[in-house]
Amino acid sequence: MQKPALPIVIIGDVDHGKSTLIGRLLYDTGSLPADKIKEIKEASKNLGKKPELAHLLDCLEEERKKGATIDTTQVFFKINNAEYIIIDAPGHVEFLKNMITGASQAKAAIIIIAADEGIKEQTKRHAAIISLLGIDSVIAAINKMDLVNFSQEKYNGLKEEAITALSRIQIKPLLFIPISALKGDNALKRSKNMPWHKGATISEALNLLQKKSSQRKQTLIFPIQDIYTINKKKIAVGKIESGSLTKGQTLIALPDKKTIKVRSIAKFGKKRHNAGEGESIGIITGGAIEPKRGDILSQTNEYPEITISFRATIFWMSEDSYLKNNALLIHCATQQANCKITKIHRRIDSATMQTLGENAEKINHAEIAEVTIETQNAIAACAFKNIPAIGRFVLTHEKNILSGGIITDIDKNKAG
């Protein structure tokens, strides 16, 4: 059976070689159609530039001209039958929201650091987001080793520096790899220029990440998306985020804590006896109440907390600053509630991870903040590290996503 592709985000500073590494992987795995290579050669010629591996991704006209990625892009390739999706995220500060859009879909990350420049502010900022998004499968590649004569001494120095810088933002790379994406050293093929490196190549590291991504067993989280009436029967639809459910099982609907019985499980064209994680299904129910959009169905013996207050770490993507206690809408799985940030415990510079202020009154663009959020109505929620599906949320105002975040602690004194 074919495993789903492992989504990986590549982060690093502008010009440190993210797109070049992706181009290299595509090229070396033979994932490139011949006419694409031709198209890139032609486009590069028109711009008076030499064709570059990076152009495979930086497809937009202005990206080619400026030589930088603007939005997030996804590409696929295969090594030894394992599939990967690479998400190329932009390096510029103004593209933070695109970076987050890309990175939030990733399960693993590669951090690229150019050997001639070392770890930069932007790289730390991106790594902080990776840490914030709860991605802990990280490998670090020291790129452009060709520019430092493939020096082991230089590599060791950079590695030490990166370990120190990354540990401040709670990131511990599983592996460090010296590479030259441009020349191909230690990407797919082991480098002849760096015989001193006995560790993994990028290809071997990817294989490791793929193996590490196996899923854990979890509490049932079935957020209701909508209710359809099909042949006069009401069907509650949604995607099971974690756990599983069985026909005949009694579930609890949160936040109301009412029981619901699963009379039947429907998927188009077939009746099912049970359904598991990741499945978009419909259920016909009986019991005390009818489920509605936003309900979280869970097991009666083990279900998440109901709360109107919790602590969270958020990243502020909007260009407009947020003033404490202003009205927001929180979206957590399919739940939605009016809310406000009542306390801004700490504002953090996302590049340096240094504290900008405590007990603050506002949060600015591209800042990370530790906050307390209070909701008008109770929601089912959980710390992200326990149940990711209801431990992460976005904050909106007038249908614009302003911020995203993860729950770090539920306020037990304010249970709903």
Please report how close the Cβ of residue 196 comes to other proteins at its closest, in angstroms. 36
354 lies in the site for other proteins, by CB under 8 A: no
User: Which residue type sits at 156?
Assistant: N
Retrieve residue 260's tokens.
Answer: 């619901």
- Phi and psi of 59, rounded to 5°? -80, -30
244 lies in the site for other proteins, by CB under 8 A: no
Compute the distance between CA of residue 409 and CA of residue 399 in angstroms, rounded to an integer.
26
Retrieve residue 224's tokens.
Answer: 């209701």
Please report how close the Cβ of residue 179 comes to other proteins at its closest, in angstroms. 24
Please report how close the Cβ of residue 180 comes to other proteins at its closest, in angstroms. 25
Compute the distance between CA of residue 112 and CA of residue 12 in angstroms, rounded to an integer.
5
Retrieve residue 71's tokens.
Answer: 């939005």
Please report how close the Cβ of residue 199 comes to other proteins at its closest, in angstroms. 30
159 lies in the site for other proteins, by CB under 8 A: no
The residue (of 70 and 356) whose beta carbon lies closer to other proteins is: 70
Find the binding residues for other proteins in span 260-299 (CB under 8 A). 266-269, 276-280, 282, 293
**Closest to 129 in 3D by CA, of 75, 166, 158:** 166
60 lies in the site for other proteins, by CB under 8 A: yes
| Residues constituting the chain | 416
Site string for other proteins, 203-232 (x = CB under 8 A): ----------------------xx-x-x--
- Phi and psi of 149, rounded to 5°? 55, 35
Compute the distance between CA of residue 156 and CA of residue 283 in angstroms, rounded to an integer.
57
191 lies in the site for other proteins, by CB under 8 A: no
Longest CA pairwise span in the chain (Å): 73
46 lies in the site for other proteins, by CB under 8 A: yes
> Of the ranges 15-23, 39-47, 180-188, 191-199, which one interacts with other proteins (CB under 8 A)?
39-47
- Contact between residue 75 and residue 46 where contact means Cβ atoms under 8 Å apart: no
48 lies in the site for other proteins, by CB under 8 A: no
Instruction: Please give the sequence-ordered ranges of beta strands (E in DSSP) within 209-279, or none if there are none.
Output: 222-230, 233-239, 244-246, 250-254, 258-267, 270-272, 274-276
Please report how close the Cβ of residue 278 comes to other proteins at its closest, in angstroms. 5
Residues making contact with other proteins (CB under 8 A):
1-5, 30, 32-36, 39, 42-43, 46, 56-57, 59-61, 70-76, 83, 85, 97-98, 100-101, 104-105, 225-226, 228, 230, 235, 237-239, 266-269, 276-280, 282, 293, 317, 329, 331, 392-394, 396, 398-401, 404
